[in-house]
Amino acid sequence: MKNYIIILFSCLFLASCEPKPETPPTPPVVKEQVETPTASPAAGLVNIDTEITLQCATEGATIHYTLNGDMPSSESKIYSTPILVNEAMTIKAIAVKSGMDSSELLIAEYSVGAIDDITKTIGDIAFTLKIVKGGTFTMGCTGEQEGECKSNELPLRDVTLSDFYLGEKEVTQALWLAVMGAWPDKAPGANDGVGDNYPAIFISWNDVVGTTGGIGYSVNGIDYYKNGFFYKLSQLTGDGKQFRLPTEAEWEYAARGGNVAENQTKYSGSDNIGTVAWYYDNCEKMHEVGTKAANALDIFDMSGNVWEWCSDLYGAYSDENETNPIGAESGNNRIFRGGSYFYSADRQRVSYRLSFAAGARISDVGFRIAFSL
């Protein structure tokens, strides 16, 4: 009996001495992080009295910023209205939201100076790009279109754009040949209009953007390939500018005169189509670029002469206001705008939309050059 008690006691003692299993540590709470704020226009050289807009993609987030070099915190000034730049300035900003980790730091450094139009030369062929200051406009079938609009010009919505450059004139036959050396297929003929200062035509969207040779750069969701016009142009100018097609929104904003035009007009620069456009009623073929009146931005032929490719896939308009939209996410055709000598007046309106396959080479479709600041 004694031995039994000793054995039982020993068993109980040993059992009580066994290490207890460890309680697993409580995993740390992983919070989502607020998106980093963005500044528009982007950091760099700006005109005096430029307004800088801060935005955050995280809904409900609050942006705090400083202008004195200090690191921002939740105690810093809350962003509510655009920041006016009238001297060299560094904006530091974070975005915060309850229940989430604060965003990464935005640092945007600005210097002040005149932003001028740019003229480039390829060989002895010069081309000029006009500065288009950003702003907000109503895109689509606005009142001055006098009820001529099609259903694809609706719904109306406000679109906000950053600064960009746009060609003063459509790309000419001389500039195309200076960059590319030859026509991709059919050359313009006498019935179309032939000469150094006539628009380059029979040029597809694929010809200007490129399709082979590797991607040179990407802008606005478009890959610009090394065999395309724009990449080759960027290499010939040698200053690193990533030339591209305008977005449809940029095209319409510029056609309407940007933030310079005092009044909205039916056509680009006038309600009198004959003043600004070569179209069906006043010509039988295209004309040299820049021979009609310019619009408020001193840009020519945005109504009439030849249609102009835009970068966007064709699709229905959003019913939401947008900032720097880049078009439909999917589709089969690419947008072109502006009308041509072959079409009636209603097709020359600033809000009229048309599209075609990216590989199409057409006798009255050309393009113009854009690039971002």
The domain locations on the chain are 38-112, 118-372
- Amino acid 46: pLDDT: 81
Residue 21 has a pLDDT of 62
- Asked if the domains 38-112 and 118-372 are classified in one and the same CATH topology, the answer is no
Separation CA 14–CA 25 (nearest Å): 27
Question: How far apart are alpha carbons 170 and 166 in whole angstroms?
Answer: 10
Cα–Cα separations (whole angstroms), residue 201 to 31, 229, 286: 55, 13, 10
pLDDT at 152: 97
Evaluate whether the domain defined by 118-372 bears CATH number 3.90.1580.10: yes
Q: Which residues pair with 110 in a beta bridge?
A: 44, 89
The pLDDT assigned to 299 comes to: 98
* pLDDT (0 to 100) of residue 91: 97
Give the pLDDT confidence score for residue 20 in this predicted structure: 58
Is the separation of the CB atoms in 314 and 334 below 8 Å?
A: yes
pLDDT (tens digit per residue) in 278-308:
999 999 999 999 999 999 999 999 999 999 9
Protein fold of 38-112: Immunoglobulin-like (2.60.40)
Q: Is the Cβ–Cβ distance between 304 and 276 less than 8 Å?
A: yes
From first to last of its 373 residues, what are the pLDDT tens digits of the chain? 444 444 444 444 444 455 556 667 766 667 899 999 999 888 888 877 889 999 999 999 999 999 999 999 999 999 999 999 988 999 999 999 999 999 999 999 998 876 789 999 999 999 999 999 999 999 999 999 988 999 999 999 999 999 999 999 999 999 999 999 999 999 999 999 999 999 999 999 999 999 999 999 999 999 999 999 999 999 999 888 999 999 999 999 999 999 989 899 999 999 999 999 999 999 999 999 999 999 999 999 999 999 999 999 999 999 999 999 999 999 999 999 999 999 999 999 999 999 999 999 999 999 999 999 8
Calpha distance 334→369 (Å, rounded): 16
- State residue 373's pLDDT score: 81
Q: What are phi and psi of 161, to 5 degrees?
A: -125, 150
The total of other beta-carbon atoms located within 10 Å of residue 183's CB is 17
- Of 231, 222, 194, which is closest to residue 363 (Cα–Cα)? 194
Helix, coil or strand: residue 15: helix
Q: How is residue 121 annotated by DSSP?
A: E
H helix count then E strand count, the chain: 6, 21
In angstroms, rounded to a whole number, what is the distance separating the alpha carbons of residues 142 and 140? 6
The Cβ of residue 70 has, within 10 Å, a number of other Cβ atoms equal to 9
